[in-house]
Amino acid sequence: MENLEAAVQCALSSSTNTEMKAQATQYCEQVKNSPDGWQLCLNLFIKNPPSVPEVRHFALQVVEETIRNRFNTIDKTQQDLIKQTLWEWVKTSLDSNEKPFIKNKLAQAIVQLFKNQYPENWPTFFDDLFGLVDVSMNTPRSNVIIDFFLRICSTIDEEVVSLLINRSDNELQKNTFIKDTMREGPVIKLVEYWFKILMDNCQTNPSVANKCLNIIGQYVMWIDIKLIVTDTFMTALYQFMNVDDLRMAATECLCSIISKGMRPLEKLQLIQLLNIPNLLGQLKFDNIDFEELIAKLINLLGVELCTICDKVKEIPEAKTMTYGYIQTLFPYMLKLLANEYDDTSSALFPFVTSYTDLLKQQKKIGFSDIPNFQQDILELLKVIISKMKYDEDIEFSFGEDEDEALFIEMRKNLKVFYDAIFAVDENISTQTVFQVVCSTFDRINIEKVDGSNVSLNSSISASWSEAELALYLIYIFGESKRSTLNYEPEGVFYQMIEKMFQSNVIYYPHNSIPIMYFEIITRYTNFFDRHNQFIPNVLEAFVCSRGLHNSEIIIKTRLNYLFARFVKAMKTKLVPYVQTVLTNIQSLLIVQPTPVTLNNLNSQSYNDLYLFEAVGLLISLDSIPLEQQSEYLGTIIQPMLNTIDEIMTKSLYQMDTPKNMQFTHQLNHIIHAIGSIAHGFPNISLLLKSNINPPWIAIFNKTLESIVVVLERLSDQSSIRESIRYILQRLIPCMGGEIIKFIIPVMNGGLLTKCSKNELTSLLTSFFDLLIHKFKDNALPIMNELLYPIVERVFIFLNQPANGTDDIISMYELRRAYMNFIGTIFTSNLQNILISENNNRHLPMIMESVVHCARDSADVQSQKGALSVLSKMVNVWGGLTEDTSIPGFADFIYQQIVTIIFEIVMKDDFNFQNAESLVIFNEISGLHLIILQRQGVKYAQYLLSYFFPSINCPSQAASDFVNAMQNSDKKSFSKYLKVSC
């Protein structure tokens, strides 16, 4: 025993060296797992003088685990020894100095004994427990024994009743038997003891009283409610709810009583008996935590009542009583919903949900059960709107602060209630929102002197949070209108927008205002399309210091995007204002050098690209003459090209260092900016159809000439290559065939020859795919020249060993992109580049690579893509005539394709129940039919006379396969294959 004691102390000591600790821990585990280790630990626990608490806790833990997991493996004598030893120790040795964790573990051990032996082998358990309490009454040990008695009661509920613990069917059956036995007698006496302990200690020892209340709350869920809900107890419980030291536990106990599962009419009777609204009127609401708990109580009661409403709707008297009770509870719900602390308000959200659902049901029957509902929902909506308002003291951070993020999440929930009330009564809701919005804007009167300057005569008596709320209410107004939103001048929406502009709220000096203001503008572009007299107000706001010129980067970034959306939506309505807008944002279109490190260069994003796209949209509007468009474009782009020329001519990029790559970064930014402007321009094909050759093509040509120079000098910079891919993709639609002459130079200049694996994937999926789709036959000369360099680059990367998960993923992505690229060549009828003089000697290698991908089932998407490519190859080259085939392809079909498509489904790991496998299976079915279609009876004869015999396939099965293939469509054949395989 001394060895074990020393080992436990050594294992738990922080000063023990690692080797000794490991040895001590190993010894302790050996004792714990040995058949008789519990005996050593039982003696160690009760030994006198006692060991240190940590050692005694370890010893007791071993005993408790033995009782819990191995009690049936020891004989009855040993079982009795454990019970008698522990019980006797409690009776004689448990004292007030014992550590709480020892008392908890001891309670768990005794309750495990109880679970194993009650009632058959320990029928007197509760008599022994009550006797323990009785003997200690009026003795110095009374408090110690009462505390332990309560721990035992609580642990019984945890171990026998609690639904939070997963239990086996046998354990559940045993626990049910224990509960049923307890209900027959012990529970009644337990309740008597709890009441007596509660009343004896409620004034002198609130800690014990609170434990009693907690236990009553635990047990009330499964014992007879009549044992608890008595006049004596409920009177005391309600009194406790006004006692500072007891009210939290008392309220929790009352919540448990209300939560007890009962039939609807019985629950209604209980609620009526409890008369909680009368109680609520007597409580002191002077503590944050208590108010939150009362909110939970009201919520619980409210949800119960709403549930009862639905279940007793065919019983008029019960239904009337329930609705009446909800009405009585409603003012208290409103009071706490409006509480300044959001946790308190949020506690009532389920009740609000249930109540609004109830109102929706009532709407269907004309609110016959709630005739005065309008006043209730009016008050509820007012509270919801008030809770939607930011706290004045919050530090606005665009949602980045934790408290603000929680508020934003709560506001989303409030929006759900807001929508629900709109659905119940749109008229009341509309008028309420209208009054809040207009009254707020009436208290904001900002006068402008000129431009963005504000007059000293401006009058602002609304707080920033009120102004933000008014804007938010307009923003969500349209979503909540179940009928068509009325944009006419007599409508409330028109009047709210008009008030918004009249107040000049955009100039309110707070960062919460601009984004919400312009979110409204962008959401309701249809309004401005109909009432274009407000467009000058909108554009003036966009170009002011609170708009696109905002000094706050988060605001500016979001507004760039919103401005682009507004321009895209309004288009021709903006033609009269283009010159003015461009003049006012001209300073924003200058790309300045910005310090950035080499590490951040490749991941750098540009927050103004949407602004440049909006500029492209503006200057290319249909109603602007092409010459004017070209002039606008030149005015904006030429300074950028001059900057590129200066950087390249003076080799300023050579001054960049890993700590400051400002000139390379400036080049990237300029290239992205011009690409974004081009993205705003129309598709040139529409103009060419009308025989119009836009003059701005020359400017983009000049741009690409500068880009080629940049790439020649800086092709080793991946950020430069990424920028050039970006601009090329955006120039293709607006330049058309004019861009073709630049493709080969930029690819050979580094875009292809120096690209990384991920860059190549991007080129295949985004650029070349777009190029082929856009130019079709015109892309043939380019792709003919670039095909082998592309394929060679793919093979270089795919033949490299993969290092780590990320590398494997990027390799799979490249394979998929490669298969898609080859497939696109066939889909676009460009397959002749594969057999051209430049590339025909590389075709066998390309075909082998496709077969390799088809064989690899580790990457299902690549495998599917490869099978699809093989189908396209067979369809184009798999015919029997010279015109429908190429030399050697028939051999490729029979020696490679046929072999692989049978090999795939014959693998042991091919699972027909797997969704991904079924996709592959369907591809294979289709490929069989395409081969048959192109090769005809030759394919059937090959299978019957050579292939099936070579794999020892029975002749009948082979014949069935060929017959099914020859007489089925793809769907039917696929079903046949699934069954036969």
Tell me the DSSP string of 513-532: HHHHHHHHHHHTHHHHHH-G
Torsion sign, CA atoms 400, 404, 406, 412? negative
* Alpha-helical regions (H) of 833-969: 843-855, 860-877, 889-892, 898-906, 915-935, 937-942, 948-950, 955-966
Residues in a beta bridge with 885: 878
Whether the predicted pLDDT of 450 surpasses 80: no
Q: Which of 267-276, 542-551, 961-970 has the lowest mean pLDDT?
A: 961-970
pLDDT of residue 451: 56
Q: Which long-range contacts (CB under 8 A, 24 or more apart) does 945-951 make?
A: 947/898, 947/902, 951/902
Closest to 587 (Cα-Cα) out of 639, 517, 644: 639
Whether the predicted pLDDT of 486 surpasses 80: yes
Whether the predicted model's global pTM rises above the 0.75 cut: yes
DSSP 878: B
Q: What residue type is assigned to position 672 of the chain?
A: H
More confident residue, 457 or 578: 578
Closest to 161 (Cα-Cα) out of 222, 220, 237, 99: 222
CA angle 745, 747, 751 (to 5 degrees): 125
Question: What tokens appear for 427 in the block?
Answer: 């008229």
Q: By the 8 A CB rule, do 689 and 740 touch?
A: no
Closest to 204 (Cα-Cα) out of 250, 143, 251: 143
More confident residue, 366 or 36: 36
DSSP 390: P
Average pLDDT over residues 526-535: 94
| Tens digits of residue pLDDT in 218-244 | 999 999 999 999 999 999 999 999 999
Question: What tokens appear for 877 in the block?
Answer: 């080259």
Whether the predicted pLDDT of 2 surpasses 90: no
Average pLDDT over residues 443-470: 83
Q: What residue type is assigned to position 259 of the chain?
A: S
Whether the predicted pLDDT of 839 surpasses 80: yes
pLDDT of residue 456: 65
Q: What residue type is assigned to position 515 of the chain?
A: I
| Tens digits of residue pLDDT in 870-902 | 999 999 999 998 889 999 999 999 999 999 999
Distance CA 136, CA 95 (A): 12
Whether the predicted pLDDT of 371 surpasses 80: no
**Omega within 30 of 0 (cis) for the link into 49:** yes
Residue ranges with strand state E in 384-463: 444-445, 459-460
pLDDT band at 914 (very low <50, low <70, confident <90, very high): confident
| Averaged pLDDT of the chain | 93
Average pLDDT over residues 814-836: 96
Whether the predicted pLDDT of 13 surpasses 80: yes
pLDDT of residue 489: 92
* Cβ neighbourhood burial of 217 (10 Å; 0-12, 13-18, 19+): buried
Closest to 518 (Cα-Cα) out of 471, 470, 571: 471
Residue ranges with strand state E in 333-484: 444-445, 459-460
For the chain, what percent of residues have pLDDT higher than 90? Answer: 81
pLDDT of residue 679: 96
pLDDT band at 249 (very low <50, low <70, confident <90, very high): very high
Residue whose pair of structure tokens reads 């003049």 in the numeric block: 583
- Domain-by-domain residue ranges, the chain? 590-753
Average pLDDT over residues 66-90: 94
For the chain, what percent of residues have pLDDT higher than 70? Answer: 98
Query: Which stretch of DSSP H or E encloses residue 274?
Result: helix 264-274
Distance CA 388, CA 432 (A): 14
Q: Which of 131-140, 874-883, 971-980 has the lowest mean pLDDT?
A: 971-980
Whether the predicted pLDDT of 294 surpasses 70: yes
Closest to 681 (Cα-Cα) out of 743, 746, 744, 636: 636
Whether the predicted pLDDT of 930 surpasses 70: yes
pLDDT of residue 981: 62
For the chain, the first-to-last Cα distance in angstroms comes to: 67
pLDDT band at 688 (very low <50, low <70, confident <90, very high): confident
pLDDT of residue 625: 94
| Tens digits of residue pLDDT in 842-870 | 999 999 999 999 998 889 999 999 999 99
Please report, for residues 199, 737, 743, 752, the alpha-carbon distance to residue 779 in angstroms, rounded to integers and kept in the order given. 93, 9, 10, 17
Whether the predicted pLDDT of 269 surpasses 70: yes
Whether the predicted pLDDT of 663 surpasses 90: yes
Distance CA 619, CA 628 (A): 8
pLDDT band at 19 (very low <50, low <70, confident <90, very high): confident
Burial 410-432 (b: 16+ CB within 10 A, else e): bbebbbebbbbbbebbeebbbeb
pLDDT of residue 194: 97
- How large is the greatest C-alpha to C-alpha distance in the chain, in angstroms? 113
